[in-house]
Amino acid sequence: MLDVYLRNGRSFLATNLFVPAHPAGPGVVFSHGWGGAHLFDDLHHFLSDAGIFVASMEHRGFGRSPGTPSIAKWPEDVAAVGDWLRGRTTRVFAMGLST
């Protein structure tokens, strides 16, 4: 797992990257609910072991991401991470779970 910060406009989104050994398949942007982003690390490792590149982001105002929490900004945040992932995988999917 790699901890990185991806730019979204004038802000940054803390993102955990789970990179498969042979990253030739699809990617997933993982979106947490109203907290608990790291509760799903086992799932992210499982997907990565299956060849899927996982970018588990912390929405603005959560965890290490600066800003004010705003559900209205979540689509923008997911799109920013998806755009970054798109250049590194064959296809990009979005996945989210609430805690």
Instruction: Write the pLDDT tens digit of every residue in 13-23.
Output: 999 999 998 87
26-35 pLDDT, tens digit per residue, is 999 999 877 6
DSSP state, 76? H
| pTM over cut 0.85 | yes
Which residue ranges of the chain lie beneath pLDDT 70?
Answer: 35-37, 99
Token representation of residue 37: 């982003």
Q: Classify domain 2-96 at the CATH class level.
A: alpha beta
For residue 84, what pLDDT is reported? 93
- Is 15 buried (19+), middle (13-18) or exposed (0-12) by CB count in 10 A? buried
